[in-house]
Amino acid sequence: MITPAPSDVLVFFGATGDLARKQIFPALYGMVLAEELDVPVVGVAFSEWGLEDLQKRARESVTAAVPDVDDAALETLIGLLRYVDGDYRDPATFAALKESVGDAHRPVHYLAIPPVMFATVIEGLAGAGLNQDARVVVEKPFGRDLASAQELDAVVRGAFPEESVFRIDHFLGKEEIMNLLYFRFANSFLEPVWNRDHIASVQITIAEDFGVQGRGSFYDSAGALRDVLENHMLQIVALLAMEPPAYQGYGAVHEAKANVFRAIRPLTRNDIVRGQFDGYRDEPGVARGSDVETYVAARLFIDSWRWAGVPWYLRTGKHLPATVHEVIVEFKKPPQALFDDAMMAQHPNHLRFRLQPDGEIALGARVKTPGEEFVGEQRELVASTGGAAARRPYERLLADAIQGDRALFTSEDSVEAAWRVVDGILTDHAPAIRYAPGTWGPTEADTLIGGDGPWHDPSLRDSNGRK
């Protein structure tokens, strides 16, 4: 295989925005520190800013995110910055960008902008010839639904060949998410039990204890379904549910994941509970009568040989009691009641993947309590994962995009198959149910999980006393 040539300039749209401030500048700094970034970085925005404003923003952003800033690395990053200000609908903006890009002839354009602007920017790039030998990195959500994703894809593919399109889902750049793939297929003990014969249900929680953090206007156009469930959560489902990739290589992983999305039964209104935290409608940028969900719980089924009949329960939301991402795979009970107390345990065995804030993989099992009686207690065998070496997801992903490595990006097939899962419920759903901030969302979600519940509370200490 021919190794793709690295890009020689990084252009990023949305340079004055929230994503840039919170994630992108710290990632660029990390890339400089790791000697992965030495090409010019051109910020583009429509904010009436100048280069000094952008440099100031970069300094503030890095200092706020990184504990012990390496001054030399930060100054190197500042020295790489350029800035173009202008309306994305105006060809003059792209003419100015072309000038700023100068002699570079393999740009990578990163669109850290609201999805409604994607098509405009891509057309602007093509109009100025900035798509030649270039790559484009597109943020999620890629489209608003299946139809708009297909339309957007037509625009993108009109200007860039598929191998130059990088659809980003930053969860795929997280160590803990990569570890799902690794743990499943680097071990042999899992495969015999990783199916409907042994697994009772799976729960995935992506909980956040904060609200929309000033992103009301973006969030009100997305909601939890588009913001997290359709992408981050379904990616986790795919990594857990996929068949073993047919060969060593990411093409095989992409294909195996897309096959999971294709096998997921499209969600209907009875499969979900939507919630909205009290006070959401008073957030700046949010429509007063908004019915957008800040919480969603879903029950889905994967109609495949491996997973037939196994319910997958997903929930995500803002203003929940904790910020924690966790997967619990519940195994079926032993077939015979040899020990009464063990049979009383709802799920004596589980595998728990803590993805955030700390990486952990734990196997839940019953262990006999010392004494005459055959009684025991729930314990966990725990392995910590991740750790200090973990890089910021955007650091990894942008460095990969510069190098032309598409392994951790999503394919159009996958994106469309994932939209197909949620397409019906984007419009056909019951009104969002209000919930108080700091709670686990509407109690109707308990009815949804029913006898497979209760929902696991990932903020609780486990039996070993760990949080």
Q: Pick from 356, 405, 2, 327: which is nearest to 168 by CA?
A: 405
Taking the complex as a whole, the smallest distance from the CB of residue 454 to ligand BG6 amounts, in Å, to 24
Residues 40-99 close enough to bind ligand BG6 by CB under 6 A: none
Q: Is 230 in the site for ligand BG6 (CB under 6 A)?
A: no
Whether 232 is catalytic is yes
Position of minimal CB gap to ligand BG6? 227
Contact 327, 312 (CB under 8 A): no
How many residues at the interface with ligand BG6, by CB under 6 A?
A: 4
Q: Which single residue is written with the structure tokens 């993947």? A: 353
- Min. distance of Cβ 132 from ligand BG6 in angstroms? 30
Q: What is the residue whose two structure tokens read 């156009």?
A: 221
Measured from the CB atom, the residue of 64 and 344 that comes closer to ligand BG6 is: 64
Residues 6+ apart with CB under 8 A from 322: 207, 209, 458, 459
What is the C-alpha separation between 457 and 322, in angstroms, rounded?
A: 10
Decide if residue 227 touches ligand BG6 (CB under 6 A).
yes
Q: Which is nearer to ligand BG6, 342 or 390 (by Cβ)?
A: 390
Nearer to ligand BG6, 164 or 356 (CB): 356
| Minimum distance, C-beta of residue 391 to ligand BG6, in the bound complex (Å) | 13
- How many other CB atoms sit within 10 Å of the CB of residue 154? 10
Question: Which residue in the set 85, 153, 208, 330 belongs to the binding site for ligand BG6 (CB under 6 A)?
Answer: 208
Residue closer to ligand BG6 by CB (options 228, 417) is: 228
Q: Which residues, 6+ apart, have CB-to-CB distance to 450 below 8 Å?
A: none
Q: What is the distance between the alpha carbons of residues 205 and 326, in angstroms, rounded to a whole number?
A: 5
Closest distance of CB 166 from ligand BG6, Å: 16
Draw the binding track, 328-367, toward ligand BG6 (x: CB under 6 A; -: no contact): ----------------------------x-----------
Toward ligand BG6, which CB reaches closer, 130 or 236?
A: 236
State the nearest-atom distance from the C-beta of 23 to ligand BG6, in Å.
8
Write the CB contacts of 39 (distance below 8 Å, at least 6 apart in sequence): 6, 7, 8, 9, 10, 80, 104, 402
Minimal distance in Å, beta carbon 435 to ligand BG6?
17
Nearest to 177 by CA among 223, 114, 240, 97: 240
* Per-position DSSP letters for 396-415, written without gaps between them: HHHHHHHHT--TTSB-HHHH
Q: Which of 109, 170, 232, 350 is catalytic?
A: 232
Q: Is residue 220 at the binding interface for ligand BG6, with CB under 6 A as the rule?
A: no
Q: Compare residues 82 and 174 and give the one whose CB is closer to ligand BG6.
A: 174
Look-up of token digits 């919170």: 22
- List, by residue number, the catalytic residues: 232
Binding residues for ligand BG6, rule: CB under 6 A, are 208, 227-228, 356
